[in-house]
Chain A
């Protein structure tokens, strides 16, 4: 007997040791359950993080846009009833390229929000890239490189040249470079729809990992885009990134409320993707719940059997003056210890499975399929939750043990 162990711990540990085979089986059961939970949680978190990183590394989390132009219907107030328009044909107005009103002030307001990481202005529009007799329709994106690269890190995606953007520079995609037969240092004539044109030098060629984006997207300095697209000093959007990507919609609503400018979050603009991520999270939670439930029932059933097997010992302990509370704690402890023991082995199983996954699940080029972080919080949560599950599962058998009538228990 260890001097530092209280009565309840001594008895609980001895009971577990006495029923060695039962203990081994249930600890193994809990370990497998916890291992599955740890492995699946890490795998799905890694997968989701990878999806989100891939999607959100090429776009802002929130985009502020100028208000859309709407038709205003003129009504004859005398003949029309309140709220009704009779026989009106409303033609949708043309959405001309417009700037966000007072965008510098709006940007400053957004920067003061605590959840916001980066705010950067963008002026974008359609144009033609012309090289000799060949031309391609492109999207010109005017940016302030220092801030914008914190949202979309083009430095990482440059395959030739560099991500430099002076007033006469342009960055183009690999597909466009190939279509027009140009490369770094070549000149390209960019013509806007209203006839304005500039000749720019290709400073770098990028690969965004998407053929369409590599064909259409081009990046120029903000001032270059403003003069090319006829929006001197104006911006067509403010791009925002936030610290918690899942809070983007809430923050977007807050931005709209504060600035009066329409703000769309990635959750709204990529609704299907977000729904898929949410569905995955729900499925993961459900699996974890049911595995946890089976672990709980496993522990409870073993302890119920243990209470039946040890009812005489419980009876004699009660006869010796051991209180109901002490008996209750003996069995609660057994549940907690089974959960804790199982979860320690389960974490080891989960970690081993994750290491094996990282070693064998690889891309054709040998790089990991996606990074799987070994989050200590996940293991700590698994230990804590499994121990709590053990305690909760043990409650009914422990209560039964504590309430055993000593006379009946001793008589068997």
Chain B
């Protein structure tokens, strides 16, 4: 278990430089080769260092989510190179990509996407359970520790559907950190929350970033939150603007 959860970080430590993510001339187009081919990312170059907390801003439809999906290995670039934790991913097969994604990357979405059939604790255990196959005390203890760190110990046995929106998003953050990923991708995680809950979730992610050296790409429309990040990049019409 410990091996699985530290894999993402270990990979980074082993690389010559400390870049967790490196994109070189990444392009993404849909309906390639057809008359309706649409390019949504036009040659993105990006480097995210270990422990860096980077805000991603830009208008709706500019390509932020597509960028995150590509960095998160949920989608593949049409061309260009993408390194995650020092590993060139464009040549990996689906099995290797899935494994790398599971061990090195955590996701938090605008909607929590918790699995309603499971309790908060079980939702947090889920990535570890998928990686190991059978539940054990170590993963239960880690899930409980993560839930405690997001202030949800009293609710850990509640079904996901019985939690408030803010609580659900905090569970989603704990779940994203279950495998101790090297990279956390947050796609407008505060978009559906009131300002108090949004602030709490942001602080939570920021704390993990500082305590565990987790690199974060944080998509937001909120300039106040973006200001509190280490740096901000803007995506406009599929281009990266500093």
Contact = CB atoms under 8 A, between A and B. Distances in A.
Given A14-B118, A313-B113, A319-B72, A324 B94 contact: yes
Contact of A321 (B98, B115, B125, B133): B98
A7 B102 CA distance: 15
Contacts of A5: 134-135
How many residues of A sit at the interface, in one of the four size bands?
20 to 34
B126 A320 contact: yes
A161 B117 CA distance: 76
B101 interface: yes
B157 to A, nearest CB: 12
A319 B136 CA distance: 22
A407 B95 CA distance: 17
Contact of A319 (B74, B94, B122, B131): B74
A406 interface: yes
Interface string B169-184: 0000001000100000
Contacts of B109: 316, 410
Contacts of B95: 323
A276 interface: no
A312 interface: yes
A322 B175 CA distance: 14
Given A312-B113, A316-B113, A406-B74, A321 B129 contact: no
Interface in A271-328: 312-313, 315-324, 326
A399 B131 CA distance: 21
Interface in B71-89: 72, 74-75
Contacts of B102: 320-322
Interface in A1-48: 1-7, 10, 14-15, 17-18
B61 interface: no
Closest 3 CB pairs of A and B: A321-B102, A14-B117, A18-B117
Interface of B: 69, 72, 74-75, 94-95, 98-99, 101-103, 107, 109, 113, 115-118, 122, 125-127, 129-136, 175, 179
Interface of A: 1-7, 10, 14-15, 17-18, 312-313, 315-324, 326, 406-407, 410
